């Protein structure tokens, strides 16, 4: 059988929780009151018995005192209780009326002739045994209380008090609680429903606004109630900030894709034109070799672009955290730059080997990008690649004494696919991804890439890489 799950709204849950809390509070308070009132009433009845027993005991013992011959009456029921003392039912009735009016019943029990003899007022509770020990006793149904006191001559005085009024008070109190508890729960449920609806009104407005943002795609649309007020206001402000960051990411992604499509279109179109031109008519072997070399150059550029795109899209969770020797990576970058341009003036300054935790492939690509960027965009300039340890990490610095760039260009360097106009006109073979990749690698390792330049003052790129502790120096 298919199981059905009841899913309550948040408003219904809040109302039910409020009703449950109120019901528990009322039950606890009512139970405590019931126990306290019952105990108080029982204590009051017990005090009533204790107050009456002193007077009753004195008067009964006065009847039981030894008398002279001829002082007894004809209605004595215990004519030989102590040999000469007498107690009658009429005496006990008179004492009961004089002491407490109605509700008090008396009984005197004594041993006479080897048997228990008792005399009591009319209506004495039959449930109480004659042999009860001294002390306070009660019937199982709580209808009466009994106080037993010893008298002279091994006699016992039993004073019973009718407590049916106490039971009636308890039952009335219980009926009131039985009626009050459901009413309190129902009232709290109604109030909780109304209050929850009022409290959740901003949530519904926020839900409507979020749905509108999702349907319209306007992630920068302000959300109602956003601010630094209560929890809901801060939640709306947090969501608004998250939507704004998503909008920024979407705009960057769209710009990245447009730029990638543009940069991929040009080499693909050039490659297609070269292939079609080579196949248009017969050529000699030397011409075919020249065409294939140019095609190979275009393919190499496309391969480099594809590799950079893959590195930029790399999952941060896949970044390795193994010891990486930065001096070795910098030396490799310098050697490759010299192979790229034998006339390039590229030097390495790394007096000590510095190791930081990271991804060797990504860090090697970042250092190579910074180096080849300096060689390509500052032809004939002296380029220096320096590696040094810093407190809490390391820094790789690539400087050149080339023409530098202006402030407007410097502000945009590091954006994916951005290339200054001069760079595009020189056709240096880049795609505007070198600095963007280096910045991304720095961010993946928790570091930063800082750029400094000015017209006529060269260019400086510094890659700051943190470590779990101070950078480890290798002798």
8 A C-beta contact, residue 362 and residue 311: yes
How many Å apart are CA 380 and CA 401, to the nearest integer?
9
Backbone phi, psi, residue 76, to 5°: -65, 130
pLDDT at 311: 60
pLDDT at 427: 43
Q: pLDDT tens digits, residue range 170-190?
A: 778 778 878 877 888 888 888
- Alpha helices for 64-116 (secondary structure H): 89-100
Q: Which one, of 203, 275, 270, 216, lies nearest residue 243 by Cα? A: 216
∠ Cα 131 136 140 (to 5°): 80
- Give the gyration radius of the chain's Cα atoms: 52
Q: Can you count the helices (H) and strands (E) in the chain?
A: 11, 13
pLDDT at 396: 93
How many Å apart are CA 388 and CA 41, to the nearest integer?
90
DSSP 227-244: SSSSHHHHHHHHHHHHHH
Q: Which one, of 460, 281, 279, 463, lies nearest residue 388 by Cα? A: 463
pLDDT at 179: 82
∠ Cα 208 210 216 (to 5°): 100
Q: Which one, of 268, 256, 373, 272, lies nearest residue 312 by Cα? A: 256
Tokens found for residue 11: 């408003």
DSSP state of 429: S
Q: Where are the domains of the chain?
A: 10-67+75-169, 214-313, 318-474
Task: Kindly tell me the burial class for residue 135, based on how many C-beta atoms sit within 10 Å of its own C-beta (0-12, 13-18, 19 or more).
Answer: exposed
Instruction: Return the CATH number of 318-474, one of 3.50.30.50, 3.40.50.2300, 3.30.565.10, 3.30.210.10.
Output: 3.30.565.10
How many Å apart are CA 422 and CA 439, to the nearest integer?
22
In the chain, the N- to C-terminal Cα span, in Å, equals 73
Q: pLDDT tens digits, residue range 257-297?
A: 666 666 666 667 777 877 887 777 787 888 878 878 877 77
pLDDT at 432: 62
8 A C-beta contact, residue 433 and residue 442: no
DSSP 280-312: HS---HHHHHHHHHHHHHHHHHHHHHHHHHHHH
Tokens found for residue 80: 């030989």
Residues of the chain with pLDDT under 50: 1-5, 70-85, 422-428, 469-475
Tokens found for residue 99: 């002491």
Q: Which one, of 192, 205, 232, 234, lies nearest residue 8 by Cα? A: 192
How many Å apart are CA 260 and CA 254, to the nearest integer?
10
- List Cβ neighbours of 431 (8 Å cut-off, separation of 6 or more): 263, 301, 304, 305, 308, 417, 419
* Length of the chain in terms of residues written: 475
8 A C-beta contact, residue 311 and residue 287: no
pLDDT at 252: 67
Q: Which one, of 352, 354, 355, 367, lies nearest residue 322 by Cα? A: 355
Q: pLDDT tens digits, residue range 256-265?
A: 666 666 666 6
214-313: CATH topology is Helix Hairpins (1.10.287)
Backbone phi, psi, residue 407, to 5°: -65, -40
Q: pLDDT tens digits, residue range 364-399?
A: 888 988 998 888 888 888 999 999 988 888 999 999
pLDDT at 315: 58
DSSP-derived 3-state class of residue 414: coil
8 A C-beta contact, residue 404 and residue 411: no
pLDDT at 307: 67
pLDDT at 464: 92
- List Cβ neighbours of 445 (8 Å cut-off, separation of 6 or more): 319, 356, 358, 359, 362, 363, 465, 466
Count other Cβ atoms within 10 Å, centred on residue 169: 14
Tokens found for residue 312: 């930029």
8 A C-beta contact, residue 364 and residue 328: no
């Amino acid at each position: 059988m298919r199981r059905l799950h009841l899913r309550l709204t948040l408003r219904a849950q809040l109302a039910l929780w409020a009703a449950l809390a109120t019901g528990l509070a009322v039950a606890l308070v009512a139970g405590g009151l019931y126990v306290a009132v019952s105990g108080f009433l029982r204590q009051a009845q017990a005090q009533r018995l204790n107050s009456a027993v002193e007077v009753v005991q004195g008067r009964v013992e006065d009847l039981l005192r030894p008398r002279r011959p001829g002082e007894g009456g004809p209605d004595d029921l215990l004519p030989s209780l102590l040999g000469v003392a007498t107690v009658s039912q009429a005496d006990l009735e008179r004492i009961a009326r004089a002491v407490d009016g109605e509700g008090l019943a008396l009984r005197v029990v004594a041993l006479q002739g080897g048997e228990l003899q008792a005399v009591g007022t009319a209506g004495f509770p039959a449930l109480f045994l004659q042999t009860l020990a001294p002390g306070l006793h009660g019937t199982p149904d709580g209808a009466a209380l009994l106080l037993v006191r010893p008298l002279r001559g091994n006699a016992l005085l039993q004073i019973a008090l009718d407590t049916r009024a106490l039971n009636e008070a308890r039952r009335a109190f219980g009926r009131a609680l039985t009626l009050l508890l459901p009413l309190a729960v129902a009232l709290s449920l109604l109030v909780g429903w109304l209050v929850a609806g009022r409290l959740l009104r901003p949530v519904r407005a926020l839900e409507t606004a979020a749905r509108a943002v999702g349907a319209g795609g306007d992630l920068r649309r302000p959300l109602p109630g956003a601010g630094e007020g209560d929890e809901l206001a801060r939640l709306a402000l947090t969501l608004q900030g998250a939507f704004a960051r998503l909008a920024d990411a979407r705009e960057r992604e769209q710009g990245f894709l447009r730029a990638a499509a543009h940069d991929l279109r040009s080499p693909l179109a050039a490659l297609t034109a070269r292939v079609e031109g080579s196949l248009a008519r017969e050529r000699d072997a030397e011409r075919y070799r020249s065409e294939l070399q140019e095609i190979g150059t275009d393919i190499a550029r496309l391969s480099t672009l594809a590799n950079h795109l893959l590195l930029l899209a790399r999952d941060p969770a896949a970044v390795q955290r193994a010891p990486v020797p930065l001096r070795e990576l910098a030396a490799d970058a310098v050697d490759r730059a010299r192979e790229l341009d034998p006339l390039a003036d590229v030097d390495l300054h790394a007096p000590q080997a510095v190791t930081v935790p990271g991804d060797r492939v990504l860090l090697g690509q970042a250092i190579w990008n910074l180096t080849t960027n300096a060689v390509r965009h500052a032809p004939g300039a002296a380029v220096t690649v320096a590696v040094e340890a810093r407190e809490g990490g390391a820094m790789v610095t690539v400087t050149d004494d080339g023409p530098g760039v202006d402030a407007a260009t410097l502000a945009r360097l590091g954006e994916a696919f951005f290339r200054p106009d001069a760079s595009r006109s020189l056709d240096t073979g880049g795609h505007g991804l070198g600095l963007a990749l280096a910045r991304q690698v720095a961010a993946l390792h928790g570091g930063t890439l800082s750029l400094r330049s000015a017209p006529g003052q060269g260019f400086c790129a510094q890659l700051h890489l943190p470590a779990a502790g101070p950078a480890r120096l290798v002798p």
